[in-house]
């Protein structure tokens, strides 16, 4: 009894002490949380809407193999801007013309940086190229060189005879196929024409018949594929070792080293042969860059790696997008025989009995230009414009967007918005007749080449090539489907990548047009 009472009192005192301690601890914790909240700004961020997500992978599972289409469907539920967590990368998806315009005009500087992926870093020499380099003085100098020296309208026009030569060589090959009545693979044809043209513009030499150039085409194709391939390090930095297991790192290393060695040899060859090239070679991009380096007009240390980064941009951006656009245009025309007839009648009326389709002729082909525009609308070369990355926090559409957020602008969805386009899913070139809407970055419902300070500088180069090749194919040949293939069998589904390609390659039988 004497021991029990003190023990009871001791327990009571202990409980009181613990209660006071708990109260004090809870009070201090609440004060600390209040203070942290106060210094963080006092209010919770008003983030854009976001779907429910899974642990670790976030929303990656929602995008699937056709993210341009799945994100368009998501926008019907979550609105024109919504937030996805792609692994460790917060990503804003934009499917609205109005929001795209604000990003690329009003807040262009804020959204001026590009996401620097593992593949881009490796193949563009630490993002020293124009496409992926951070916004700043270096980027401004690179863009100035590309816009004023390499891709100016005068420079693009100066390559007219070169385009004519390469297309004429392809026309001769098609004639051979037409005599045999066998189908030709138009994707392979367009890739070959594009790579030949751009190789001569950039390097001053032809591809065909040269083993090293054929190897370079394979490496360029691999570079494009790697740019669009899933990389663990881009979404899960701590799981970068998985890229070794998947073989991604090995393929990236082999491709980067192969391209680097090729360009080193080409540059060295041009330096050794300085002054011995004909006039067409002296007009090529490499010679222009070597001359700029000699004159040091940028006032910057312009190294060999800078050269090679710019040249790779031209190859990667120039071949894939133009060849894909030409294939889509021919596929859509085959699906619509009346429009095929209409554009062929225009081309043949304008050219008449001449043996060569000239640029002056193409300038008079209004309906052909409508066909190209409509192809770019319904099948944009890049369904997602090259991803941007926020340099600082900002507001967009009333929402708070934190820094380092990646921004995907879904051009494919924007260009099919029924708010701006009648029957948006239909291929209707006539919609551009007498229309002022253009693809040069002023009409934000139509942005196949982007807009703003980071819009594509090679628009004229690419569009002139597409128009020139299509005009020749439509002038010299009629086209029919292979035996056993009906019009309704012509597959028009696409495959997502850096460029949006047809899932099944287009094969058609050429028939020499009647005189």
Per-residue pLDDT tens over the stretch 399-413: 999 999 999 999 999
Summarize the confidence of residues 175-200 as an average pLDDT: 92
> Which of the 8 DSSP states describes residue 481?
P
Domain-located, residue 248 = yes
State the DSSP H helix or E strand holding residue 93, giving kind and residue range, or none if neither.
Answer: strand 89-94
Is 340 within 8 Å of 481 (Cβ atoms)? no
Summarize the confidence of residues 83-102 as an average pLDDT: 96
Checking if the pLDDT of 165 tops 50, the result is yes
Q: What is the pLDDT of residue 289?
A: 85
Checking if the pLDDT of 280 tops 70, the result is no
Reported as a single tens digit per residue, the pLDDT across 123-154 is 999 999 999 999 999 999 889 989 888 899 99
Task: Please give the structure tokens belonging to residue 224.
Answer: 């494009």
Among 50, 98, 46, 57, which residue's Cα sits nearest to residue 75? 50
Domain-located, residue 315 = yes
State the DSSP H helix or E strand holding residue 389, giving kind and residue range, or none if neither.
Answer: strand 388-389
Domain-located, residue 162 = yes
* Comparison of pLDDT for 39 and 260, the residue scoring more: 260
Domain-located, residue 32 = no
374 is in which domain, residue-wise? 60-512
Domain-located, residue 460 = yes
Q: Report the chain's mean pLDDT, rounded to a whole number.
A: 87
Domain-located, residue 7 = no
**Counting beta carbons within 10 angstroms of the beta carbon of residue 298, is it exposed (0 to 12), middle (13 to 18) or buried (19 or more)?**
middle
Q: What is the pLDDT of residue 40?
A: 45
Is 339 within 8 Å of 371 (Cβ atoms)? yes
Among 116, 115, 135, which residue's Cα sits nearest to residue 125? 116
* Comparison of pLDDT for 177 and 25, the residue scoring more: 177
SS (H, E, C) 206-233: CCCCCHHHHHHHHHHHHHHHHHHCCCHH
Instruction: Please report which confidence band the pLDDT of residue 32 belongs to, taking 50, 70 and 90 as the band edges.
Output: very low
* Comparison of pLDDT for 384 and 301, the residue scoring more: 384
Number of independent structural domains in the chain: 1
Q: What is the pLDDT of residue 228?
A: 86
Q: What is the pLDDT of residue 89?
A: 95
N residues, the chain: 515
Q: What is the pLDDT of residue 23?
A: 42
Domain-located, residue 384 = yes
Reported as a single tens digit per residue, the pLDDT across 333-356 is 999 999 999 999 999 999 999 989
Look up the CATH number of the domain holding residue 269. Answer: 1.10.630.10
Cα separation of 56 and 265, whole Å?
45
What pTM does this model have?
Answer: 0.88
Q: Which DSSP string do the residues of 109-126 spell out, in sequence order? A: TTT-EE---HHHHHHTTT
Domain-located, residue 55 = no
Cα separation of 129 and 86, whole Å?
26
* Comparison of pLDDT for 9 and 93, the residue scoring more: 93
Is 243 within 8 Å of 118 (Cβ atoms)? yes
Is 200 within 8 Å of 162 (Cβ atoms)? yes
Checking if the pLDDT of 19 tops 70, the result is no
Summarize the confidence of residues 487-508 as an average pLDDT: 91
Q: What is the pLDDT of residue 299?
A: 60
Summarize the confidence of residues 31-35 as an average pLDDT: 41
Integer CA distances (angstroms), 193 to 155, 186, 207, 264, 381, in order:
19, 10, 10, 24, 17
Summarize the confidence of residues 437-448 as an average pLDDT: 95
């Amino acid at each position: 009894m004497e021991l029990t009472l003190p023990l009871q009192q001791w327990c009571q005192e202990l409980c009181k002490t613990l209660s006071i301690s708990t109260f004090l601890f809870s009070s201090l914790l609440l004060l600390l949380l209040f203070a942290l909240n106060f210094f963080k700004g006092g209010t919770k961020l008003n983030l854009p809407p976001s779907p429910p997500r899974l642990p670790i992978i976030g929303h990656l599972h929602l995008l699937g193999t056709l993210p341009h289409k799945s994100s368009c469907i998501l926008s019907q539920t979550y609105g024109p801007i919504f937030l996805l967590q792609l692994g460790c990368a917060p990503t804003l998806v934009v499917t609205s013309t109005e929001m795209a315009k604000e990003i690329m005009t009003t807040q262009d500087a804020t959204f001026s940086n590009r996401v620097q992926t593992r593949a881009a870093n490796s193949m563009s020499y630490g993002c020293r190229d124009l496409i992926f380099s951070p916004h700043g003085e270096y980027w401004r100098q690179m863009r100035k060189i590309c816009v004023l020296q390499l891709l100016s309208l005068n420079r693009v026009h100066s390559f007219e005879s070169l385009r004519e030569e390469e297309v004429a060589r392809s026309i001769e090959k098609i004639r051979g196929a037409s005599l045999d009545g066998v189908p030709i693979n138009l994707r392979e044809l367009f890739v070959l024409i594009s790579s030949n043209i751009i190789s001569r513009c950039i390097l001053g030499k032809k591809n065909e018949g040269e083993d090293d150039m054929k190897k370079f085409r394979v490496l360029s194709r691999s570079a494009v594929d790697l740019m669009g391939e899933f990389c663990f390090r881009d979404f899960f930095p701590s799981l970068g070792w998985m890229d070794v297991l998947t073989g991604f790192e090995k393929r990236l290393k082999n491709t980067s080293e192969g391209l680097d060695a090729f360009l080193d040899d080409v540059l060295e060859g041009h330096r050794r042969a300085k002054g011995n090239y004909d006039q067409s070679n002296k007009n090529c991009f490499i010679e222009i860059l070597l001359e700029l380096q000699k004159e040091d007009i940028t006032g910057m240390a312009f190294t060999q790696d800078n050269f090679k980064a710019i040249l790779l941009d031209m190859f990667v951006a120039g071949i894939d997008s133009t060849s894909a656009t030409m294939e889509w245009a021919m596929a859509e025309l085959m699906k619509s025989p009346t429009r095929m007839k209409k554009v062929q009648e225009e081309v043949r009326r304008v050219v008449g009995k001449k043996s060569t389709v000239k640029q002056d002729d193409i300038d008079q082909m209004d309906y052909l230009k409508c066909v190209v525009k409509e192809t770019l609308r319904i099948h944009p070369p890049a369904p997602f414009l090259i991803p941007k990355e926020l340099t600082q926090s900002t507001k967009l559409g009333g929402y708070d967007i934190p820094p380092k957020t990646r921004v995907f602008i879904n051009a494919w969805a924007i260009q099919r918005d029924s708010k701006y386009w009648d029957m948006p899913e239909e291929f209707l070139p006539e919609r551009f007749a007498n229309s002022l809407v253009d693809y040069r970055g002023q009409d934000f419902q139509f942005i196949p080449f982007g807009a703003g300070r980071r819009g594509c500088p090679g628009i004229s180069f690419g569009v002139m090539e597409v128009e020139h090749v299509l005009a020749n194919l439509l002038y010299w040949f009629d086209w029919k489907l292979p035996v056993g293939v009906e019009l309704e069998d012509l597959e028009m589904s696409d495959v997502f990548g850096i460029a949006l390609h047809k899932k099944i390659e287009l094969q058609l039988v050429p028939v020499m047009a009647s005189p």
